[in-house]
Amino acid sequence: MKTLESISMYDEVIKEGQTVMMFSADWCPDCRVIEPILPEIEAVFPEVTFLYADRDEFIDLCSRLDVFGIPSFIFYRDGQEVHRFVSKDRKTKEEIVAFIREAEAK
**Is 62 considered catalytic here?**
no
Q: b/e string for 77-105 if b means 16 or more Cβ within 10 A?
A: beeeebbbbbeeeebeeeebeebbeebee
Residue pair 76/19 in contact (Cβ under 8 Å)? The answer is yes
Q: Which of 4, 22, 31, 65 is flagged as catalytic?
A: 31
Catalytic pick among 13, 20, 21, 28: 28
Residues assigned a catalytic role: 28, 31
